[in-house]
Structure 1
Amino acid sequence: MAAAPQPMASWRRQAHLIIDRGAGDDLSVRLVHGGLVLLIVVNITALVLESVPSLAASYSRLFHWIELVSAVLFTIEYAVRLWTAPEHARYRGLSDEAARRAYALSPPAVLDFLATVPLYTALLGYGDLKILLLFRLLRFFKLGRYSPGMASLAAALVAERKALFACVVILIGVMLLAATAMHFAEHDVQPEKFATIPDAMWWAIITLTTVGYGDVFPTSPIGKLVASVTAVMGLVMLALPVGIVATAFAQEIHRREFVVTWSMIARVPLFSGLNAAEIAEIMRVLRAQSVRGGAVILRPEEPAQALYFVASGEVEIMREEACEKLEEGCYFGELPLGSAGDRIGLAARATVASKLLVLDPIDFRALTSRYPELAAHLHRLAGT
């Protein structure tokens, strides 16, 4: 029998599943994460409204308590994340101290720490510092932790940083070219507005960004021609980075789902010898299944009739000799290659709300019927 987990480790593991959303759609996860998102929204709203003098005078006590409660809850969140850092897959091979140190230096942890700074600076008597407004505003970016879309967008921006930097360089070059042309076209007509190239750069940047305040505009025919060309170039300059970001964002979402699913399938010994095209075909027939915490997935008396991949959450496998907990990326079950499944003598249940990817025999047989070479390859790998 496997050794029983230590109570403290079990509590830490459960806290990790909740705070890092590893427990799928469990009620406790929704409550914790929904509460934190609501806290951030209330905090930012209070920060904005507090800048109105009349509201600040009328509701100063309310704003004070919102800030105090928010800072305390953010401190508790940071402490829990620091405590559960050894349970994170990224730091699993490190000691507890090394894992917590590595997490504390990560960008999300630094952001969490800065969110607590206003409270402690106020306790030290420095609550009137204007810089504290910046730290309070940084709490808005904590929403990125609870939004997979924002995380994917950040990853897309990082992936395309060179292309986006090139767009900035091109924008600066076009701005300088337009400002120089407008300076020579208008400096005699409007010396107070286009006397120098730096003066014309203001007109160039607001025209390229399609803002067009109208405070500076050309009056000569040549100046209007330059302005027309600059306005058209502005449309191109806006479309270029938008297209890069949109394409990278879509690719990042597809890549993340593809890599996770691919890695799970490639771990199965039966599929380890397949090439990229064959694994891609198997990925297309996977079926998503959501199970609640405590739900039974497999019973020991049932024959093996499907292969299950843990996409999120945690599943406990109970065999006669031992128990094992499977996390995201693991698989269990058996895919029968014969006419009937063999009894595998194990039971499986979801310890928390989990999401599974299921490969059913019916879909698998339909796939192998379309690709006989895949079926022959799998039979060779299985030794049947």
Structure 2
Amino acid sequence: MENLIRIYNNQLKQAFGVLILINIVDQILLSGSLLPNNQFLKIFYTISMLLFVFELFLRIGSEKKVTILTIIDAAVLVNYFLVGTFDLRVLRIFRAYSTFNQHNVLFPANTLLKTVYHQRFALLGSQIMVFSVLLIFSTLIHFIEKDVYPEAFGSIMSSMWFGITTLTTVGYGDITPITNLGKVLAALTMFLGIGMFALPAAILASAYYEEIQKRNFLISLETISKIPLFENLPVGAIGKINSKLHALLVPPHKTIISNGENSDAMYIIEFGAVEVELEKPVILSTGDYFGERGLLLNEKRNATISSKVETKLLKLNKNDLLELMSEHETLFKELAHSSATRSGNNK
């Protein structure tokens, strides 16, 4: 089962993400009769749902928990096999996003979703304030306008429609106050609405910026100079290393290198943690590096290493590392010493 989960994480997960996107496109085209609803598409739909059931169990086994996305996926599958009222495949769009969340192109979207989650209490608080203002305004406009315009303001509930369009500054114009006092109140509420709805936007913008800064894919010279492996190198060497490192954002529980595969790069942990699967597992964290032994000795990988949490890695390819070591003996000595020490500790 563990091997199957590893294959899923390393090879099948993105394939299922592509299948989700194809299903969503299929649903969109079928909704407008842009594609003929033939037998082939029905078979494709059924096979996709069966594969998604298989994928759901694999994902639960991989993540060891049930998430919101898992519940949504289960609801889509239950609807298809047991209810069949609506085609809910489009709800899985967020699963596709999560599948490709390590790709730079989806980095902003996934960061925004995480920002919303992290700021959920602040956003909830701001929306409670908005609802409170809406309730107060709807009550006041009801008392002011109910006698002259009972069709629109005859109750607080009916007044809330006008309150919503006014507070959000949409102003459809289908309902307007008649009395002067009602107009003044509506005008004040419009100005208040601008500020009220700017509040959650400000919360998200600030938190989003902080998240982007925290997980920025641009590697700075300052960041590299703080890595113990490179701290004794001259500024010129650090600048060259900067041009050769590639940043990777790895989700939790994803295999980074597998035992027995060819050694093609070493990795430096900028933040997060990884587990080296040995007889006595080893945890590496911020500032540590791995994968250098296979490059130095020209050997295959001698251990499987996977991420414990979301981890940002700096990847240095084999040819680039060999070039740097030939130019900077200090780097070669540090890597050779580290490799020998680890080899001795693992015996």
When normalised by structure 1's length, the TM-score is 0.56
> How far has the Cα of 1:160 moved from its partner?
1.2
Larger relative contact order, structure 1 or 2 (CA cutoff 8 Å, min sep 6): 1
> How far has the Cα of 1:217 moved from its partner?
0.8
Q: Which amino acid aligns with 2:130?
A: L
Structure 1 match to 2:142: 183
Structure 2 match to 1:248: 207
User: Is 2:81 the partner of 1:78?
Assistant: no
> How far has the Cα of 1:269 moved from its partner?
9.1
Quickly say closer, same or farther: Cα 1:183–1:106, change in 2 above 3 A: closer
The one of 164, 177, 198 equivalent to 2:157 is 198
Query: For 1:82-101, what aligned pairs fall within 5 Å after superposition?
Result: 85=62
The one of 87, 93, 96 equivalent to 1:143 is 96
The one of 37, 51, 67 equivalent to 1:59 is 37
> How far has the Cα of 1:256 moved from its partner?
3.7
> How far has the Cα of 1:203 moved from its partner?
0.5
Q: Which amino acid aligns with 1:218?
A: P
Q: Which amino acid aligns with 1:141?
A: F
Structure 1 match to 2:131: 172
Structure 1 match to 2:112: 153
When normalised by structure 2's length, the TM-score is 0.61
Q: Which amino acid aligns with 2:94?
A: F
- Once residues 49 and 152 of structure 2 are traced to their aligned partners in structure 1, the CA distance between those partners, rounded to angstroms, is 49
Query: For 1:110-149, what aligned pairs fall within 5 Å after superposition?
Result: 110-119=71-80, 121=81, 126=82, 129-130=84-85, 132-134=86-88, 136-145=89-98, 146-147=100-101, 148-149=107-108
User: Is 2:28 the partner of 1:69?
Assistant: no
- Once residues 116 and 184 of structure 1 are traced to their aligned partners in structure 2, the CA distance between those partners, rounded to angstroms, is 49
Unaligned runs of at least 5 residues, structure 1? 1-7, 21-32, 86-99, 272-281, 299-307, 349-384
User: Is 2:191 the partner of 1:232?
Assistant: yes
* RMSD, aligned CA: 4.7
Q: Which amino acid aligns with 1:133?
A: D
Question: Identity, % of aligned pairs?
Answer: 25
Q: Secondary structure at the match of 1:240?
A: helix
- Once residues 237 and 116 of structure 1 are traced to their aligned partners in structure 2, the CA distance between those partners, rounded to angstroms, is 39
Deviation string, structure 1 residues 151-196 (Cα, Å, up to 9, x no partner): 3222211221121111111111111222122223222221222122
Aligned residues: 277
Q: Secondary structure at the match of 2:245?
A: strand
Structure 1 contact 75–116 (Cα < 8 Å) conserved: yes
Unaligned runs of at least 5 residues, structure 2? 102-106, 232-237, 248-260, 275-289, 340-347
Structure 1 contact 50–63 (Cα < 8 Å) conserved: no
Deviation string, structure 1 residues 286-320 (Cα, Å, up to 9, x no partner): 555249x957558xxxxxxxxx6157998462366
Q: Secondary structure at the match of 2:268?
A: strand
Query: For 1:1-384, what aligned pairs fall within 5 Å after superposition?
Result: 13=6, 15-19=8-12, 33=14, 35-51=15-31, 55=33, 58-59=36-37, 61=39, 63-81=41-59, 85=62, 102-103=64-65, 105-119=66-80, 121=81, 126=82, 129-130=84-85, 132-134=86-88, 136-145=89-98, 146-147=100-101, 148-257=107-216, 289-290=245-246, 296-297=264-265, 309=268, 315=291, 317-318=293-294, 323-324=302-303, 340-341=329-330, 343=333, 345=336
> How far has the Cα of 1:74 moved from its partner?
2.2
- Once residues 66 and 297 of structure 1 are traced to their aligned partners in structure 2, the CA distance between those partners, rounded to angstroms, is 40
